[in-house]
């Protein structure tokens, strides 16, 4: 079986053997240290804009039409706000690249 493909230019999760991109750190941290699978209790997402509601660590996707970046999450957004974050910038549930062995993801 071929090893999984990953971008060697991006930082990786600190968990041994994990090649996923880190998004989580403790509240005062600036750069991600762990991926969503290896985040420790108390870690919050730091590599993306967080909701501006007090104490909410959820990623912000909502703002008023015409604005470039999200300010509030789905739970805290106001009437008239829309999802302003492009789909390509949202977390993915499955990889969209091929394996290192050269297959193109078929079958």
- 19-48 pLDDT, tens per residue? 888 888 887 777 889 988 999 998 877 767
Whether 34 contacts 25, CB under 8 Å: yes
**Predicted TM-score (pTM) of this structure:** 0.48
Where residue 69 falls among pLDDT bands split at 50, 70, 90? confident
21 vs 30: CA distance, rounded Å: 15
Query: In whole numbers, what is the pLDDT of the chain averaged over residues?
Result: 79
Alpha-helical regions (H) of the chain? none
Check residues 55 and 75 and name the one with the higher pLDDT: 75
Nearest partner of 21 among 50, 3, 42, 47, judged by Cα = 47
Beta bridge partner(s), residue 24: 34, 45
Helix (H) / strand (E) element for 44: namely: strand 44-45
DSSP label at 88?
G
Is residue 64's pLDDT more than 90? yes
Q: Is the pLDDT at 107 greater than 90, yes or no?
A: no
Q: Are 56 and 48 in contact (CB under 8 A)?
A: no
């Amino acid at each position: 079986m071929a090893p999984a493909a990953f971008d060697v230019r991006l930082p990786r999760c600190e968990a041994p053997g994990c090649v996923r991109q880190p998004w989580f750190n403790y509240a005062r941290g600036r750069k991600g240290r762990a991926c969503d699978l290896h985040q420790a209790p108390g870690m919050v997402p730091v590599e993306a804009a967080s909701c501006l509601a007090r104490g909410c660590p959820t990623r912000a996707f909502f703002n008023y039409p015409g604005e470039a970046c999200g300010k509030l999450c789905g739970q805290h957004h106001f009437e008239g706000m829309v999802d302003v974050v492009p789909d390509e910038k949202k977390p993915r549930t499955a990889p969209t690249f091929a394996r290192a062995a050269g297959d193109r993801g078929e079958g």
